[in-house]
């Protein structure tokens, strides 16, 4: 249920003295992130307040760069990888609605040029890095000079998982308790794990048939299995911290894989049932199990799309590559 309007929340912290001269420009990059313990379900839809905390790892150099310029025009201009974006598209509408919340003055218009290293809407967290790069660019453009915590809150309002895309490495998003969501932001966990690798198995670059936002709503409203999700996440988070503290790779992989499978089961249990997996997804999951049977510790996680993200250590790289020659390793 939506308890507070976004305007009321943002009025508390959008500064009055923002710089807005015509032609001002700023550019920012944010990495994509992959959740090892998923965010699935909202306690407030307008503010993107989650039911549970979540934990992710960033994809380093893979992400989104956004350039913002203040322009003299009646409408915003949007470009994705140098191509103009149709203002009526869902992507443009979502961006414009978010910008409407942030404009220091309602008459300000922007040229937004977005360059993405990742396929948009293929379940590879492109909206996460997109909104995170956008809030960083807004902060620089208008000289807001915000803390990472504030930027994380604003990015969360754009897309929940975006609040985790402001840092490299392992990041935890605390669900928070407050109705205004000011305590629901992410933090870097400051953990190094140099041997850890993430492999991207891309089966399709096409946009997903149903957005994560919609799937999340249908699941929370109709899936009986969803009732046990919050307590499952709590247990998985505790176990993931144990794995991170002990640098226990098998424990990390098992926990992440179980958490992702449980999330997909809640969707399959929803009505209508939602299954993002394709025959390629199921075949790859099978191969991962085979690799494990052969003694190669490799696990997967999967978001709102058919593609898989493999988790393994540097020492397993050659085995993984020989099984999945097209894998993109981060």
Contact status: 212 vs ligand PMV (CB under 6 A): yes
Q: Of 119, 109, 110, whose CA–CA distance to 81 is shortest?
A: 119
Does residue number 264 form part of the binding site for ligand PMV (CB under 6 A)? Answer: no
| Least distance to ligand PMV, CB of residue 262, Å | 12
3-state secondary structure 275-330: CCCCHHHHHHHHHHHHHHHCCCCCEEEECCCCCEEEEEEHHHHHHHHHHCCCCEEC
Return the number of the residue (212 or 316) whose C-beta is nearest ligand PMV. 212
Between 108 and 276, CB nearer to ligand PMV: 276
CB closer to ligand PMV out of 47 and 304: 304
- Is residue 257 close enough to count as binding ligand PMV by CB under 6 A? no
Residue 219 within binding range of ligand PMV, rule CB under 6 A: no
Contact flag: residue 38 with ligand PMV (CB under 6 A): yes
Q: Residue 159 interacts with ligand PMV (CB under 6 A)?
A: yes
The bridge status of strand 109-116 relative to strand 54-71 is: antiparallel
User: How crowded is residue 287: how many other Cβ atoms within 10 Å of its Cβ?
Assistant: 16
User: Least distance from C-beta 212 to ligand PMV, angstroms?
Assistant: 4
Q: Is 138 in the site for ligand PMV (CB under 6 A)?
A: no
Token readout for 85 is 């974006």
For residue 114, list its beta bridge partners. Answer: 66, 80
Nearest to 70 by CA among 129, 139, 141: 141
Pick the binder of ligand PMV from 52, 58, 69, 161 (CB under 6 A).
161
> Which of 300, 303, 308, 316 contacts ligand PMV by CB under 6 A?
303
When the beta carbons of 2 and 315 are compared against ligand PMV, the nearer one is 2
Q: Choose the binding region for ligand PMV from 34-42, 65-73, 267-275, 322-330 (rule: CB under 6 A).
A: 34-42
Site for ligand PMV (CB under 6 A): which residue of 32, 52, 54, 140? Answer: 54
In the complex, what is the shortest distance from the CB of residue 164 to ligand PMV, in angstroms, rounded to a whole number? 7
DSSP structure string for 221-241: HH-SGGGGHHHHHHHHHHHHH
Longest dimension (CA), the chain: 62
Instruction: Give yes or no for residue 43 binding ligand PMV (CB under 6 A).
Output: no
Shortest Å, Cβ 214 to ligand PMV: 10
| Site track 269-298 with ligand PMV (rule: CB under 6 A), x = hit | ------------------------------
* Residue 199, strand partner residues: 310, 329
Cβ atoms 158, 135 nearer than 8 A: yes
CB of 91 to ligand PMV, least distance (A): 13
- Are 176 and 185 in contact by the 8 Å Cβ rule? The answer is yes
Using CB under 6 A as the criterion, what x/- string covers residues 118-137 for binding ligand PMV?
A: -------x-xx---------
Beta bridge pairs of residue 141: none
What phi-psi label fits residue 76: left (phi over 0), alpha (psi between -120 and 50 degrees) or beta? beta
User: Could you say whether residue 104 binds ligand PMV (CB under 6 A)?
Assistant: no
Residue burial 46-77, b: 16+ Cβ < 10 Å; e: rest = ebbbbbbbbbbbbbeebbbbbbbbbbeeeebe
Applying CB under 6 A, which residues contact ligand PMV?
35, 38-40, 54, 125, 127-128, 159-161, 212-213, 303-304
């Amino acid at each position: 249920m939506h308890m507070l309007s976004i305007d009321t929340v943002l009025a508390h912290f959008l500064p009055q003295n923002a710089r807005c001269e015509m032609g001002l420009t700023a550019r920012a990059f944010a990495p994509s992130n992959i959740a090892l313990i998923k965010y699935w379900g909202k306690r407030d839809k307008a503010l993107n307040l989650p039911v549970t905390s979540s934990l992710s790892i960033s994809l380093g150099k893979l992400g989104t760069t956004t350039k913002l310029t203040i322009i003299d025009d009646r409408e915003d201009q949007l470009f994705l990888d140098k191509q103009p974006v149709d203002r009526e598209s869902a992507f443009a509408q979502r961006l414009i609605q978010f910008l409407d919340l942030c404009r220091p003055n309602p008459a300000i218009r922007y040229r937004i040029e977005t360059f993405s290293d990742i396929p948009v809407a293929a379940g590879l967290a492109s909206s996460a890095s997109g909104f995170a790069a956008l809030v960083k660019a807004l902060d620089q453009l208008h000289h807001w000079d915000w803390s990472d915590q504030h930027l994380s809150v604003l990015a969360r309002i754009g897309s929940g998982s975006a609040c985790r895309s402001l840092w490299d490495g392992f990041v935890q998003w605390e669900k928070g308790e407050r109705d205004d969501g000011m305590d629901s932001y992410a933090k870097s966990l400051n953990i190094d794990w140099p041997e850890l690798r993430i492999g991207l198995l891309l089966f399709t670059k096409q946009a997903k048939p149903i957005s994560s936002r919609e799937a999340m709503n249908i699941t929370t409203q109709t899936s009986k299995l969803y009732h046990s999700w919050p307590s499952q996440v709590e247990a998985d988070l505790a176990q993931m911290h144990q794995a991170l503290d002990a640098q226990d790779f098998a424990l990390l992989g098992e926990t992440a894989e179980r958490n992702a499978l449980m999330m997909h089961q809640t969707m399959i249990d929803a009505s209508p049932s939602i299954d993002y997996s394709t025959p390629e997804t199921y075949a790859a999951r099978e191969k991962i199990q085979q690799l494990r049977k052969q003694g190669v510790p490799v696990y997967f996680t999967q978001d709102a799309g058919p593609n898989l993200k493999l988790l393994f250590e540097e020492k397993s790289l050659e085995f993984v590559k020989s099984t999945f020659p097209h894998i993109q390793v981060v």
